[in-house]
Amino acid sequence: MFELSEEQLMVRDMCRGFAEKELREQAVEIDKTHEFPLETTRKLGELGIMGVVYPEEYNGAGMDYVSYAIAVEEISRVCASSGVIVSAHNSLCLSPIYYFGTEEQKKKYLPKLCTGEHIGAFAITEPGAGSDSAGTKTVAAKEGGNYIINGTKNFITNGGYADTHVTLAITDKNGQKNKNTSFFIIEKGDPGFTVGKVEEKLGICASSTTEMVYVDCKIPEDRMLGAPGDGFKIAMHTLDGGRVGIAAQALGIAQACLEEGAKYANMREQFGAPIGKLQAIQWMLADMATEIEASRLLVYKAADILSKNGKNRRPASKYAAMAKLYASECAHRCAHKCIQIHGGYGYVKEYIAERLYRDARITEIYEGTSEIQKLVIATNILAEFAE
């Protein structure tokens, strides 16, 4: 059994209490209005959740990745939109700045990001470059002491509210594949940068998902992360942490499905008794509970490996992909069963089962589809047995 430390249990209890008090009722409303939960996101920053794993010298909470996974899980159990806001901010924006930024960059950006005063985002996906980051078309051209960026990113989580984001661009048009791109730090208000189309989505409706548009966007050369050509390396490193975050989000959604399904099964009567007495319902609940426990162990193991390996993410890559694959598909299956248990009531908005179903679906897509996770897992396995 994976036993949580006293600090990890404290994080779980704190986030669970906050979610019930601050997010439970709000989650229903913002799913309807699609309003970004800025106020509660700032409050999460005050609790240290917007900079969970980063050192106290940058205003972070200085905790481990298991604590981070627990925080995302507990928040997502009540509000999946808030869960992905926290995940994208921590895993995708802060992580590349912390691990690959200069000390000057870290001191400039991390303190306000870690407290939630500023919101962060990660811009890599393009209309023609999703899972294939090598298909990036955005270009950054050197001009004196600056870079001029042109291109469009899409499906960017937190995009409409990001004060700071990192973006991937080609810096060497003739360079070798996977060594011709670089990351840059972009600030809200940079000349030539605008937020484009705001996406209307099936689920996680209160998260902000937008285009990021760069038209002769001029930034100083000291905004590059790492060295020229490090883009692919930074992206792969960052996505391992991002996959653990989304796995934790999926785990929280799955847990909510089990809880809602069990509560309804105890309450709803048919044929003179609660439907929970029916073997068909019991088997659904048993399958859900078993898969959730298996998912939790995978997610926590992947997070623990991230904590122990720091900047060297190779040992975590396989387990991060496993956790994301299994937990996301578990969430989908649990959401399906939750609606089935509710019957017709699961299909109407009076109950949250239908929201859980809509929120669960995206977890199999972003941070790499289930098919991409299988490729990552298989590639690692083949490499292990070739050595």
Residues 297 and 373 in one domain: yes
Asked if pLDDT for residue 1 goes beyond 60, the answer is: no
Residues 155 and 168 in one domain: yes
Asked if pLDDT for residue 312 goes beyond 80, the answer is: no
Q: What confidence score (pLDDT) does residue 128 get?
A: 86
Triad 85, 365, 228: Cα angle to 5°:
75
Residues 246 and 328 in one domain: yes
Among residues 65, 86, 119, the one where a domain terminates is 119
Among residues 98, 119, 140, the one where a domain terminates is 119
Q: Please write the tens of the pLDDT for every residue from 253-304.
A: 999 999 999 999 999 999 999 999 999 999 999 999 999 999 999 999 999 9
Domain range for residue 129?
Answer: 121-230
The DSSP bridge partners found for residue 65 are none
Query: Torsion angle of alpha carbons 170, 175, 178, 184, nearest 10°?
Result: -30
Residue 312 lies in a domain: yes
Contacts 24+ apart (CB under 8 A), 96-101: 96/122, 96/166, 96/183, 96/225, 96/234, 96/237, 96/238, 97/166, 97/185, 97/225, 98/54, 98/58, 99/234, 99/237, 99/311, 100/183, 100/225, 100/226, 100/230, 100/234, 100/237, 101/185, 101/225
- 130 — pLDDT class (breaks 50, 70, 90): confident
Residue 379 lies in a domain: yes
Q: Give exposure, 332-343, as e/b (b: 16+ Cβ within 10 Å).
A: bbbbbbbbebbe
Residues 238 and 199 in one domain: no
Q: What confidence score (pLDDT) does residue 178 get?
A: 83
Residues 297 and 278 in one domain: yes
Residue positions annotated with a catalytic role: 367
Asked if pLDDT for residue 309 goes beyond 90, the answer is: no
CATH code assigned at 191: 2.40.110.10
Q: What confidence score (pLDDT) does residue 352 get?
A: 97
CATH code assigned at 45: 1.10.540.10
CA separation, residue 370 to residues 77, 245, 298, 310, 321 (Å): 21, 15, 15, 25, 9
Alpha helices by DSSP H, listed for 47-94, are 65-78, 80-87
How many Å apart are CA 366 and CA 199, to the nearest integer?
14
Asked if pLDDT for residue 49 goes beyond 70, the answer is: yes
Q: What confidence score (pLDDT) does residue 132 get?
A: 77
Residue 1 lies in a domain: no
Q: What confidence score (pLDDT) does residue 135 get?
A: 83
Residues 66 and 175 in one domain: no
Residues 150 and 40 in one domain: no
pTM of the model: 0.97
Tokens 């439907």 correspond to: 275
How many Å apart are CA 331 and CA 255, to the nearest integer?
8
Q: What confidence score (pLDDT) does residue 340 get?
A: 98
Q: What confidence score (pLDDT) does residue 353 get?
A: 98
Asked if pLDDT for residue 182 goes beyond 60, the answer is: yes
Average pLDDT, the chain: 96
Residues 260 and 372 in one domain: yes
User: What is the average pLDDT across 20-25?
Assistant: 98
Residues 12 and 35 in one domain: yes
Of 9-18, 297-306, 312-321, 378-387, where does mean pLDDT reach its minimum?
Answer: 312-321
Q: What confidence score (pLDDT) does residue 382 get?
A: 96
Give the end-to-end CA distance of the chain in Å, rounded to a whole number. 31
Among residues 230, 252, 279, the one where a domain terminates is 230
Structure letter (DSSP) for residue 126: B
Q: What confidence score (pLDDT) does residue 387 get?
A: 65
Residues 115 and 133 in one domain: no
Q: Which residue has the higher pLDDT, 314 or 245?
A: 245
Contact 213, 195 (CB under 8 A): yes
In the structure encoding, which two tokens stand for residue 134, read together?
Answer: 């090598």
User: What is the average pLDDT across 22-39?
Assistant: 98
- 91 — pLDDT class (breaks 50, 70, 90): very high
Q: What confidence score (pLDDT) does residue 80 get?
A: 98
Number of domains the chain contains: 3
- 20 — pLDDT class (breaks 50, 70, 90): very high
- For the four alpha carbons of 48, 54, 60 and 63, in that order, the dihedral sign comes to positive
Secondary structure E strands in the chain: 120-123, 139-143, 146-157, 164-170, 181-187, 193-198, 209-220, 224-225, 269-270, 273-274
* CB atoms closer than 10 angstroms to residue 9: 13
